[in-house]
Amino acid sequence: MAMPWRQSLRLGTYLAKQKILRREKFPILVELEPLFACNLKCAGCGKIQHPHDLLKQRMPVEQAVGAIEECGAPMVSIAGGEPLMHPQIDEIVRQLLDRNKIVFLCTNAVLLPKHLHKFAPHRNFAWMVHLDGLRERHDASVCKDGVFDQAVDAIRQAQAAGFRIMTNTTFFDLDSPQDVIDVLDYLNDDLGIDHMQIAPGYAYEKAPDQEHWLGVEDTHQLFAKAFAGGRRKKWRLNHSPLYLDFLEGKVDFDCTAWAIPSYSLKGWQRPCYLLDDGYAATYRELIDDTDWASFGRGNDPRCANCMAHCGYEPTAVVATLGSLRETIRAAVN
């Protein structure tokens, strides 16, 4: 199964408007980072490598909401760091929902039970819980025992309270095709997750672990074998079929990192949240003064093994909605 129908309808309407207005570059989703601090020290993340004074900072509500209004993106993914460590994260979410944005609040879920009462279920809101494998694999990834069980318990509490739950799972070279299948089966069947996202691990330069990233061919083999029996329609994946084709190596795309810009305490990050080539003060400056053609596989050696959804999912989404055949395929899968 593909993206939620409400999300797909919203995207389709939005993209049609951009085409009518003849806009070449536009934001689909903003990666909003209102803080860098986190309660975990995951091997594959380098956010907590920032200086201590920056880790102590929290983005004001007005600044966070203002950035989203400035660029006009219909969807927001709030990340960090751990967003639930922000004392006004519930207010940021409320104000974005009041502006009719689709909001995904990313979390490792450890703090979720403590803060769940501050939020209310909403048709445009979902918790995005990071689960990088089953118990042993996930706890190794976050470098702390017991986190998987805490996350699962938090998910069940949120589900009981009526919230929509999504997950995001990153796979590394330690994972086998059967691991992919087992994780998706567990999330889909045992936990009843509403929609799941998957991603191949990218060599984020500040991450403590620099040994277990996937290359392009590794990614192709991992997902081609995992989906060899046909992608299970019961898997509620929050991806376009074309992006899954991309992961399997069936199609290739150019990077469109401009479609998922990243805004943090340091400003608009160039060119994406995985690379750090400086920051722009405004969204327009980011778009106009960034040499986008210099990035992506084949253009920048740092991008050689990147197949991350922040650069390639928007390309797949635009390609899907630009083709009647692919639109129908996305609707029925």
Residue 9 predicted with pLDDT over 90:
no
Contact 219, 247 (CB under 8 A): yes
- 204 pLDDT above the threshold of 90: no
Domains of the chain (ranges, CATH numbers)? 5-332 (3.20.20.70)
Write out pLDDT tens, residues 71-115.
Answer: 999 999 999 899 999 999 999 999 999 999 999 999 999 999 999
Which residues face 125 on adjacent strands? Answer: 103
Interval 8-37 mean pLDDT: 92
Asked if pLDDT for residue 220 goes beyond 80, the answer is: yes
Query: Tens of pLDDT along 29-75?
Result: 999 999 999 988 887 676 667 888 999 999 999 999 999 999 999 99
For the chain, give the percent of residues with pLDDT over 70: 92
262-264 vs 195-200, strand pairing mode: unpaired
Considering the chain, what is the average pLDDT of its residues? Answer: 90
**Tell me, what's the pLDDT at 183?**
96
- Taking CA atoms, 219 is separated from 21, 63, 226, 301, in Å, by 37, 37, 11, 17
Q: How many CB atoms lie within 10 A of CB 139?
A: 19
Mean pLDDT of 322-331: 73
Query: What is the reported pLDDT for 215?
Result: 86
Per-residue pLDDT at 211 exceeds 70: no
